[in-house]
């Protein structure tokens, strides 16, 4: 939904980097103004496979960062992580691999924000987190953050 080339010159006082970041935030805010949730299911795996394609279609030289704003409760016929009363992360990951749903995210920095356990016990959140951390490891990604919080701390340079 958003991609940018910030360039290599940060500016003497990082003013160019700060300006580029502010412009990205403004662009993002304009793009999400009219978004609304109208779907009854969450296809996070499908979104990750799309990200795989987008990352691999670009030329090299970019820093690949994926920010996911989601409760991470995958809910499709291929894999339902939302409704089981007892989530078995290992079995779910086996099913994911069997269906060939692991994206190629080698060297992608991943930030997961808003992954909460609203209405579910904390053990559910822990198993869900375990599933996704193992998924991203198999995908070759580096999870920099997996948090209930919905704000992004400053990214690594």
Q: How far is residue 155's CA from residue 20's CA, in Å, rounded to a whole number?
A: 14
Query: In this structure, how many other beta carbons lie within 10 angstroms of the beta carbon of residue 127?
Result: 21
SS3 category, 21? helix
CA distance 1 to 12: 30
Examine the pLDDT at 8 and tell me if it is beyond 80: no
Q: Domain coordinates of the chain in residue numbers? A: 9-38, 40-147
φ, ψ for residue 142 (rounded to 5)? -115, 110
Mean pLDDT of the chain: 87
Q: How confident is the model at residue 42 (pLDDT cuts 50, 70, 90)?
A: confident
32 — pLDDT class (breaks 50, 70, 90):
confident
**Per residue in 67-102, pLDDT tens?**
999 999 999 999 999 988 889 999 999 999 999 999
pTM above 0.85, yes or no: no
Q: What does the pLDDT look like over 108-140, one tens digit per residue? A: 999 999 999 888 999 999 999 999 999 999 999
Query: CB-based contacts of 12: which residues, under 8 Å, 6+ apart?
Result: none
**What average pLDDT does range 45-67 have in this prediction?**
88
Phi first, then psi, for residue 78 (nearest 5°) are -70, -40
């Amino acid at each position: 939904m958003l991609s940018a080339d910030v360039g290599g010159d940060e500016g003497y006082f990082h003013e160019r980097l700060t300006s580029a970041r502010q412009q990205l935030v403004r662009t993002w805010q304009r793009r999400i103004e009219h978004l609304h949730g109208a779907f009854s299911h969450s296809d996070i795996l499908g979104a990750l496979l799309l990200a795989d394609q987008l990352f691999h279609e670009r030329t090299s030289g970019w820093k690949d960062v994926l920010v996911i704003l989601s409760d991470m409760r995958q809910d499709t016929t291929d894999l339902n992580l939302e409704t089981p009363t007892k989530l078995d992360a290992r079995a779910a990951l086996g099913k994911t691999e069997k269906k060939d749903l692991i994206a190629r995210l080698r060297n992608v920095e991943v930030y997961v924000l808003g992954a909460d356990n609203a209405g579910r016990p904390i053990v559910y959140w822990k198993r869900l987190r375990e599933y996704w951390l193992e998924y991203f490891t198999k995908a070759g990604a580096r999870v920099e953050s997996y948090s209930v919080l919905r704000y992004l701390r400053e990214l690594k340079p």
